[in-house]
Amino acid sequence: MNAFQRTFLVSALAVGMTLLWGVAFMPAMAADQPETFPCVAEGKLEKEISPEAELVELSCFMKKWEGAKTLHFKVTLKNVSDKPQRYRVNLFLDQCKGVGGLIPRKTKKGLVKPGATASFTYPVGGMSCKPESLIVRISTMAP
């Protein structure tokens, strides 16, 4: 066996092992991703959204947080105005719970530019079930 054949054989073996490794661990990696579900039943979602924002995504999933399986909301917003913006997000659940925050959370890297999207995931501490109803309130903040 010459040097070229050995190099080809070693390369083919390395590629084959890489593919086998990826296929073997792909289901395990997919299992780590939480499954999203509709946040509330049809007609049980109330939205109050500033004209400078568009709600691109509102999804829910269960994920371990502080040692317990907890409800999480992922909120993605798009800036539909012609100026950079910062948004206040409030999510009010029917169980007298509420979560929220700012998008972007910190302004060190700047605000959400016109046409750009930004998202944040909000865990709801002590909530291990899906809410019956939800109010989403999104407003802009003065610069």
Q: What is the CA radius of gyration of the chain?
A: 22
pLDDT-based confidence at 143, cuts 50/70/90? Answer: low
What's the CATH fold of domain 36-140?
A: Immunoglobulin-like (2.60.40)
Q: pLDDT: is 32 or 82 the higher one?
A: 82
Mean pLDDT of all residues in 79-104: 93
Report how far apart, in Å, the C-alpha atoms of 94 and of each of 66, 75, 139 are: 23, 18, 21
Provide φ and ψ at 142, rounded to 5°. -65, 140
Domain extents for the chain? 1-33, 36-140
Q: In whole angstroms, what is the distance from residue 8 CA to residue 10 CA?
A: 6
**Contact at 8 Å (CB) between 109 and 118?**
no
Query: What mean pLDDT do residues 93-105 have?
Result: 90
Segment 7-21 mean pLDDT: 60
**pLDDT higher than 70, residue 11:** no
Q: What is the pLDDT of residues 31-55, one digit of tens each?
A: 566 788 888 888 899 999 999 999 9
Q: To the nearest whole number, what is the mean pLDDT of the chain?
A: 84
Higher pLDDT, 83 or 68: 83
